Amino acid sequence: MSLEVIILAAGQGTRMKSTLPKVLHAVAGKPMLGHVIDTAAQLNPTATHVVVGHGADQLQQYFEQQLQHHSLTVVEQAEQLGTGHAVHQAMPQVDSDSVVLILYGDVPLTQLATLQDLVVRAQQGNLALLTVALADPTGYGRIVRDHAHQVVAIVEQKDATEAELAIQEINTGIMALPAAWLKQWLPQLSSDNAQGEYYLTDIIAMAAKSGHRIEAIHPSSEQEVQGVNNRLQLAELERWYQLQQAKQWMAAGVTLADPARVDFRGDIRIGQDVLVDINVIFEGQVEIADNVIIDAHCIIKDSRIASGSHIKAHSLLDQVQIGESCEVGPFARLRPGTVLAAKAKIGNFVETKKTHVGEGSKISHLSYVGDAILGRNVNVGAGTITCNYDGVNKFQTEIGDNAFIGSSTSLVAPVQVGAGATTGAGSTITKAIAADELGVARGRQINLKSWKRPQKKD
């Protein structure tokens, strides 16, 4: 049987105290809804339906900007009348011969294997339900079983008896079942309950009454099914997720100075014998090769670092490529388009942008080099800047192999410095310097013997 997924994302999330829809609040740098959609996509469903309500315009914008690679059907729930009502809104677009998996946009970390288990059981003709036992089940619907230990109903907290409130096994809301059953049972739901809503959970009793088998499976941890209703829960889920990531990387041969003080926010790939100090953040698409050292307080975003390189403390790398055995930092900022060839060095308080730095070249201190191409073994002195912007357009600076750029040189682009050429310290270079030439462009020094230093007046 084919699979279709329905994701409920219509809730307002009033306890988040935010104008942002709850499901767009992020875990590990990705909106919770994005986690759910990405995991569901790995099941290869024939269709994914997202039910939206509060913040529908913001959600639609998110779909258009961030999820273009997903094929989604967006269904609006104009009135929030409960989970059963929400699922009902999507059913006209669901094939009756399919299996339906129901997920929640604010339950972001359910594992693929757990969902696969649910789907397989539903494709075998069962109602598969995800449940978990909690030490404190307060607020959740309770799983009611008969004397044969078979699931026969789910009772919501506000409708439960004292005996039912003592049950610790709770409903996660996540389930899979044949679509035909949903189309039969959803119109029969009643809002005659404490909350005046159409509970999706009421179909469990209908299934039991009809003699259908209800299979309850359990996640590997309760955090897999933990929903988020406030910012405290969001933070708790973030820390749990990050700790799981840290454990996986350490098992794969990465040394983390403190697993509680590193964040993985994206698609991260790390080789063996990599050393990561405290308070390092990886964002987006990041590839770290073997034997890389990353010192404390660095941010690595959408970047590749080749083997043997050393990223020193307090450095920011954003959309850059670092070659083998390079040194970067401390306190360096490498902006998009920076490419370092092997054994290049970027020192403290250096900023680069759209710059290719050749093999063995050095920009060691207090410099800005943007829109530039540096050859091999170039030495850029402290305080050097490329003047690449005239207020409207950007221009390129080209520096040949083995050139020496004296301290505090201003290179006014477009300009070329030939191979083996030198610029005098403090020069403002506006014209090309040929290979092996010395370019000096600075005001002539004048010393006035009769000059007197000003004195403070009484």
- The DSSP line for 30-64 is EEHHHHHHHHHHTT--SEEEEEEBTBHHHHHHHHH
- At residue 50's C-alpha, the angle toward residues 217 and 105, to 5°, is 55
Q: What is the pLDDT of residue 193?
A: 83
* Residue 78, both tokens: 């104009």
Short-list 117, 79, 81, 104, CA closest to 173:
104
Regions of the chain with pLDDT less than 70: none
- CATH of the domain spanning 3-225: 3.90.550.10
Q: What is the pLDDT of residue 66?
A: 73
Q: Are 105 and 32 in contact (CB under 8 A)?
A: yes
Note if the bond before 330 is cis, omega within 30 degrees: yes
CA dihedral 138, 139, 144, 149 (to 10 degrees): -50
Q: What is the pLDDT of residue 94?
A: 96
Residues with a known catalytic role: 365
Q: What is the pLDDT of residue 346?
A: 98
DSSP class of residue 279 equals S
Note if the bond before 92 is cis, omega within 30 degrees: no
Q: What is the pLDDT of residue 68?
A: 73
Q: Are 352 and 334 in contact (CB under 8 A)?
A: yes
Residue recorded with tokens 């070659």: 323
Residue 216 backbone dihedrals phi, psi, to 5 degrees: -100, 125
| Residues written for the chain | 458
Question: Hey, what CATH topology would domain 231-439 get?
Answer: UDP N-Acetylglucosamine Acyltransferase; domain 1 (2.160.10)
Gap between the terminal Cα atoms of the chain: 97
Q: What is the pLDDT of residue 289?
A: 98
Contacts 24+ apart (CB under 8 A), 434-437: 435/400
Distance CA 265, CA 127 (A): 35
Half-sphere exposure of 381 (CA within 13 A, CB side): 15
Domain boundaries, the chain: 3-225, 231-439
* Residue 23, both tokens: 């499901």
68, with CB counted inside 10 A (0-12, 13-18, 19+), is exposed
Q: Are 242 and 263 in contact (CB under 8 A)?
A: yes
Distance CA 294, CA 307 (A): 12
Q: Which residues pair with 352 in a beta bridge?
A: 334, 369
Q: What is the pLDDT of residue 195?
A: 84
- Helices 32-41 and 56-66, interaxial angle, to 10°? 50
Distance CA 124, CA 131 (A): 19
Helix (H) or strand (E) run with residue 190 in it: none
DSSP class of residue 381 equals -
* Global confidence as pTM: 0.90
